[in-house]
Structure 1
Amino acid sequence: MHEVRTVAADGIEGVIRALPDPGALLDAAGQLFGHWMQLRLPVDRLVFPATVDRIRFHGPPPAPHALLSVTARVREVRDVTVRGDLELCDAAGRVWARIDGWTYRRFGADERVWPMKFTPEVCGIGEPQPAGWCLARRRWTDPASQELVMRRYLGAAERAAYERLAPRARAPWLLGRIAAKDALRQLLWDGGAGPVFPVEVPVGNDPSGRPVVGGALAAGVRLSIAHKDRLAVAIVHPGRRVGIDVEPVTADPGALIRVALTPDELRLAEELAARDATGLPAALTALWCAKEAAAKAHGTGLGGRPRDWRVTDDPGSGPGSLRVASPDRRGGPSYPVRTAPLPEDHVVAWTAHPAAPSPVPSHLMETSHDHHR
């Protein structure tokens, strides 16, 4: 690409330089056309060439390094494609080639996916939260866009695990990995690390199915993941066990009360609903999520006995604060848990970090460049 001269509502003009490699000249023309989409499309600006109807040449190939002017006219913009015609002219203004019906495929790319495409080592799709956990939303609408995101985030072993999943299970699983990797990378960045690619913080599972952090950059960091519908959440800590859960607000409060809550917890939910103006279904769901998060941090899960995990109010710790006692007969710990509403009528609960968290281990403060040197 030599020069971009004009960008209009229906096209773009510029100058490209011929390179000696076969196909490079037409590729450069297509790059100019694609640049119009990057500049003018409001969303889904991530594009790749898909098809061409016809190419007509009107002379021999230009000499290497010769300059040609290109005019690309946009004929049609659809939800998943952009179609246009291109004309390439030599320095004397003679038409050298015409390309009809060059069609580009659009992929889902909003304000978070778009920069991640270019600099995945310093930004991500996940939305780190001040409380130390990360939210990931499904920001694509089709399998092809999902595939592009997957290839930015997963290493070879993780891709193999992804491919073994049933097609419908892949999107939520991938969202969980995105939330986890972006939570891990945020911890590293906050500790002074340099650029960290998502594949540098692999996430696997131990024999019991719990997620574990692999690789050297974040070795020893504790991790918890949850996903539901089009959302995923993850929380990390350099030393302490953590737990997190996300659920849609219950559509059947009666069933949740019968299965999971004690009479005291029902009264607590009613108090929370009145105090926070969230509605009883949301308050009930928050208590359920709190039990799930605490049981994950405990390392056992609910074990089919959700009523044995007792939730009490913890108003002195701020809005949405609860405390969950484990059923361990040996005097097991209780867990401070925070809850909050999420988009799309969901609730999240996570084990709260202490006011003075453990210092980040020194190995997490190395830059990724130093680690690989």
Structure 2
Amino acid sequence: MLLDLGSPLVRLGEAARTALGGLSAPPPAGSATGSAAEPASGPRPVLLSALDAVLADTGAAARTVTEAWAAGPPPAPVEPAGRVGPTGTEVLRLSLAELPYVRDHCVYLQPEGWPEDSDRFPVVPMTTMLELAAEAALRHAPPGLHVVGYEDVRALRWLAVEPAVDVEVTVRGDGPGRARVGLGAYASVVVLLGERYGQPPAPDTTPLRDPRPAPVSAEALYRDRWMFHGPRFAAVHEVRTVGADGIEGVLRALPDPGALLDAAGQIFGHWMQLRLPVDRLVFPATVDRIRFFGPQPAPGELVAATARIREVHDTTVRGDLELRRATGGVWARIEGWTYRRFGADERVWPMKFTPEVCGIGEPRPEGWCLARRRWTDPASQELVMRRYLGAAERAAYERLSPRARAPWLLGRIAAKDALRRLLWDGGAGPVFPAEVPIGNDPAGRPLAEGPLTRGFRLSIAHKDRIAVALAHPGRAVGIDVEQVTADPDALVRIALGPEELRLAERLAACEGTGLPAALTALWCAKEAAAKAEGSGLGGRPGTGGWPRTRTPARCWCAPRRAPVPGPHHPAPHRSARPRRRLDRPRLGGPVPRPLPPHGDPSWHLTSSPRSPECSWRSSATSTSSRRRSR
């Protein structure tokens, strides 16, 4: 039967068929289409021969599977000595009561006597999680074995123990002398078990490149807050040499689980603090393998440590460590220890050292505060969030959608730093971010809470990657920020009346900022004025003109950069609160200076009170627009 394919039939002449004769081949012997029953009347095309080969392979594979199935399951292998037993699951209740030494492994400093332990963020060190995994593996292993190492260490998330947490621990055999242990969603590791330790290798005597004396002593490492560790984890005894490719020091064995290996990680991380130009805030993430060549050093025993840097990337640093006893013999080798780098520029980094006297926010001479988004990943955002928010504020943060959290957090940073600036100017002394909690009143407006700022008035606004805040000890305030409009006609139609348009034209002529900038400034002023009055625009931005108040507004325009200060703000209110004494050691060390403001798109910011030089009157001040969460 002929099929009509909608195209003309092509016929090859004799010459063409002769020229293509080399593309023919005999059928394969024993193939499905070239069996002995098929007459071999002529050559077989190559394409059909290829199909024959595929079908033959498929048939052979099918026969292999069928024969294996018919033969039945293979006999069970003999369990070798040292193999971990059946899979086991248990639940560990972890808390500061169960692990009291974790009080000395709190990431964030808070005032003396601070009642909320979770604000300090007590987390189980990765090396202590290895000890917990080892204990679980030994409970499922034959007697007479001990831990000789670890492989495939993965710290997956922070294991905070305040409030208390239940962690499901799973153990399953992974081969002779190997147990794969999972600590819930927090970590996983292969624990290596054996009857005896391996023969120690010869020490690595390769000198460091460009070695120099360590600029920070072991005492200063903890005193000046390079490390957040308390006495039960402060096991770096000496920092000797820092080179271009590594660091050398001496550790002192401590009795708490994981303390010695954690100190090895501290000296490794200290190289990153000294040598990396940016993002020097680091935490351990993974380890390829750890080998022990003898029992754990006794408490008080000194152990020499050398960390060698193998790779430095934008988000990670990888290296190897060697730990040696006083006799010079190798006790442990750590290979492929990878640290994760977190966003920490020249405003974030100083907060590691002195969070009670500095902030991420950029205070402006006029009294308001600017906060920029200084992180690029969720993990870095979480660290900043925990630095600034107390327990109740963190709960509010967690209730937000992931997309809404970053701008909300920026607003809280700007507001807390604006409030702290008022307190510092008033002589309050050191103030931690957690000491100035911010909630919301019944209408949703931001509300300064806590004994230090109760009664202060506050306003917040955020847009894209920036937030601004304005605070005053007693006067109603407001603030707003918007990117300069790209469609001035639409803004006039929606939000501004004829009188306001004429005012914007006069402002543009007076200030030389251009009409779009002047229109945006007026829109910001209306937002700020209505919010300061407490009424809001009520969805009617273009009706009724401006809200009028006795408090004038103030506007700054910042074309192609951050908001530029206007006339000087009146002197801030001086609080009669006495200066507090902070029971903290003296601070020192090379804390970097803050970066200058980065370039931004065009912005308008409006706040209040306004100085008399301003060319128009508006309402009090305000914070966020309808699109912003408080």
How far apart are residue 348 of structure 1 and its match? 8.8
Q: Tell me, yes or no, if the aligned pair for 1:132 and 1:235 is still in contact at 8 Å.
A: yes
Does the alignment pair 1:124 with 2:359? yes
| CA drift at 1:337 | 2.0
The DSSP-based 3-state class of the residue aligned with 1:306 is coil
Deviates more, 1:102-111 or 1:20-29: 20-29
Matched residue SS, 1:96: strand
Counterpart residue number, 1:304 = 539
Q: Judging changes above 3 Å, is the alpha-carbon distance between structure 1 residues 119 and 160 closer, same or farther for their aligned structure 2 residues?
A: same
Stretch of structure 1 that moved more, 285-294 or 166-175: 285-294
Rounded Cα–Cα distance in structure 1 between residues aligned with 2:479 and 2:420? 18
Larger fraction in strand:
1
Structure 2 residue runs without a partner (length 5+)? 1-235, 583-630
Distance in structure 1 (CA, Å) of the matches to 2:481 and 2:565: 7
Q: 1:342 to 1:105 in 2, by over 3 A?
A: farther
What per-residue deviation string (whole Å, max 9, x for no partner) do you get for residues 326-353 of structure 1? 2xxxxx5244222223587676999x99
Matches within 5 A, 1:52-131: 52-131=287-366
Going from structure 1 to structure 2, the CA distance change for 1:102 and 1:92 (only over 3 Å counts) comes to same
The amino acid that maps onto 1:98 is R
- Residue 459 of structure 2 is matched in structure 1 by 224
Which structure shows the higher helix fraction?
Answer: 1
Q: 1:341 aligns with which of 548, 557, 560?
A: 557
Shift of 1:228: 0.7
Amino acid at match of 2:552: P
1:36 pairs, out of 237, 255, 271, with 271
The number of residue pairs the alignment matches comes to 347
Q: Distance in 2 between matches of 1:174 and 1:19?
A: 39
Distance between the aligned counterparts of 1:124 and 1:309, measured in 2?
40
CA distance in 1 between partners of 2:450 and 2:245 (Å): 48
Counterpart CA distance in 1 for 2:568 and 2:411 is 21
**Distance 1:36-1:272 versus aligned 2 partners, 3 A rule:** same
Structure 1 residue 83 displacement after superposition: 0.8
AA of the residue aligned to 1:120: P
Which residue does the alignment assign to 2:421?
186
Q: How does 1:162-311 map to 2 (within 5 A)?
A: 162-308=397-543, 310=545
Please tell me whether the aligned partners of residues 425 and 574 of structure 2 are also in contact (alpha carbons under 8 angstroms): no
**Structure 2 residue identity aligned to 1:233:** V
AA in 1 matched with 2:261? L
Instruction: Kindly provide the amino acid, as one letter, of the partner of residue 195 in structure 1.
Output: P
Alignment of 1:135-146 (within 5 A): 135-146=370-381
- Residue 336 of structure 1: SS of its match in structure 2? coil
Q: Distance in 2 between matches of 1:290 and 1:348?
A: 16
- Cα distance in 2 for residues equivalent to 1:236 and 1:272: 27
Deviation at 1:120, TM superposition (A): 1.6
Change in 2 beyond 3 A, CA 1:216/1:173: same
Compute the TM-score of the two structures, normalised by the length of structure 1.
0.87
Match of 2:240 in 1: 5
Larger radius of gyration: 2
Quick one: distance in 2 between partners of 1:259 and 1:252? 11
CA distance in 2, matches of 1:68, 1:145: 33
Q: Does 1:366 align with 2:578?
A: yes
Tell me the distance in 1 between the aligned counterparts of 2:263 and 2:436: 35
The CA RMSD measured in Å over matched residues stands at 2.3
Query: Displacement, 1:59?
Result: 2.1
Give the Å deviation of 1:88: 1.1
Deviation at 1:266, TM superposition (A): 2.5
Offset, 1:308: 4.6
1:161 paired residue number: 396
The change in CA–CA distance for 1:160 and 1:134 in structure 2 (over 3 A counts) is: same
- Structure 1: gaps of 5 or more residues: 311-324, 327-331
1:148 and 1:355 map into 2 onto residues whose CA distance is 35
